[in-house]
């Protein structure tokens, strides 16, 4: 029988079944906090430092002072992964505003709560690469960048969840969201790319996307492989008539999309550009120079 994962909560390691926080924590009451996710592959935590940089940027944007340095955070994460003994795992790092009262006032929260979870995750079926994903274009619009911007990786994911509910209702694997102007933004938990005539396109940050760390590395990888990569506003029509579409994310990696809103993309199979990027990206995830080697 597999051992129960250990969860870090404010300096303590406890079994998953016993991991608890206060019901007065503002992360629970109001989604008031930030988080990051990191994948460990063959003992390498891919882009761990970059994820921690983004965690602290997100915390700064919503005025949470993380009560440990970045270096201390990375060491703690490494220690928690080692304590669990997983060479392949999914890490979730959470920093909430902390315990307060039932009011909104963040001044009532004296100290942020830090939680580190090391476990497994499975977003899609094992045959995703042979069949690809089906998607819808959601009626739920991405929040504006001057509102609860998704450039901050906060714990408030209701916008994403409502779009995912729409996808579930029609049997689609994922939902693609538009920004408030009607341009393509991203999926519910992943950035989006399209390929047209050999050129790779991806939406601008101004469309309300999370500036994905996997997204950034895939863009760099594509350029290293000789592809032209363009960040631009993408219309729904451009999405529907693309030669290839793929999604990128921490847990997903690179995943092909073969149908959008009932329209078949390309020949209905994962395309050659997507496949080439995927094959190279899988190698990168195991490369110690691309992350932090834990085992």
What is the four-CA torsion angle of 89, 95, 100, 104, rounded to 10 degrees?
-110
Count of residues in the chain:
295
Q: What is the Cα–Cα distance from 157 to 134, expressed in whole angstroms? A: 22
d(CA 118, CA 83): 10
Q: Closest Cα partner for 95 from 122, 45, 61, 144?
A: 61
42 C-beta neighbours (distance < 10 Å), count: 13
Distance CA 36, CA 212 (A): 11
DSSP three-state, residue 129 = helix
Q: Mind telling me the catalytic residues?
A: 153
Structure tokens at 62: 């919503």
DSSP state of 188: S
**β-strand 199-202 against 229-231: which pairing, if any?**
parallel
């Amino acid at each position: 029988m597999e051992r129960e994962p250990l969860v870090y909560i404010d300096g303590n390691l406890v079994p998953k079944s016993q991991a608890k926080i206060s019901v007065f924590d503002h992360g629970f009451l109001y989604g008031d906090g930030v988080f990051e996710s990191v994948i460990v592959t063959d003992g390498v935590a891919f882009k761990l430092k970059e994820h921690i940089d983004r965690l602290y940027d997100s915390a700064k944007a919503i005025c949470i002072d993380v009560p440990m340095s970045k270096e201390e955070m990375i060491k703690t994460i490494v220690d928690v992964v080692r304590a669990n003994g997983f060479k392949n795992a999914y890490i979730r790092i959470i920093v909430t505003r902390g315990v307060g009262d039932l009011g909104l006032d963040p001044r009532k929260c004296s100290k942020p709560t830090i939680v580190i979870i090391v476990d497994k995750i499975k977003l899609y079926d094992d045959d995703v690469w042979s069949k690809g994903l089906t998607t819808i274009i959601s009626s739920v619009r991405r929040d504006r960048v001057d509102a609860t911007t998704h450039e901050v990786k906060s714990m408030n994911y209701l916008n994403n969840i409502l779009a995912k509910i729409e996808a579930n209702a029609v049997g689609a694997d994922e939902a693609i969201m538009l920004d408030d102007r009607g341009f393509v933004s991203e999926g519910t938990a992943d950035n989006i790319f399209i390929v047209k005539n050999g050129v790779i396109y991806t939406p601008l940050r101004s469309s309300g996307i999370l500036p994905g760390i996997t997204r950034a590395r895939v863009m760099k990888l594509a350029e290293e492989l000789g592809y032209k990569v363009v960040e631009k506003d993408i219309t729904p029509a451009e999405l529907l008539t693309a030669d290839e579409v793929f999604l990128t994310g921490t847990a997903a990696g690179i995943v092909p999309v073969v149908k959008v809103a009932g329209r078949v993309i390309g020949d209905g199979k994962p395309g050659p550009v997507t496949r080439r990027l995927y094959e190279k990206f899988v190698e990168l995830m195991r490369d110690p120079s691309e992350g932090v080697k834990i085992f």
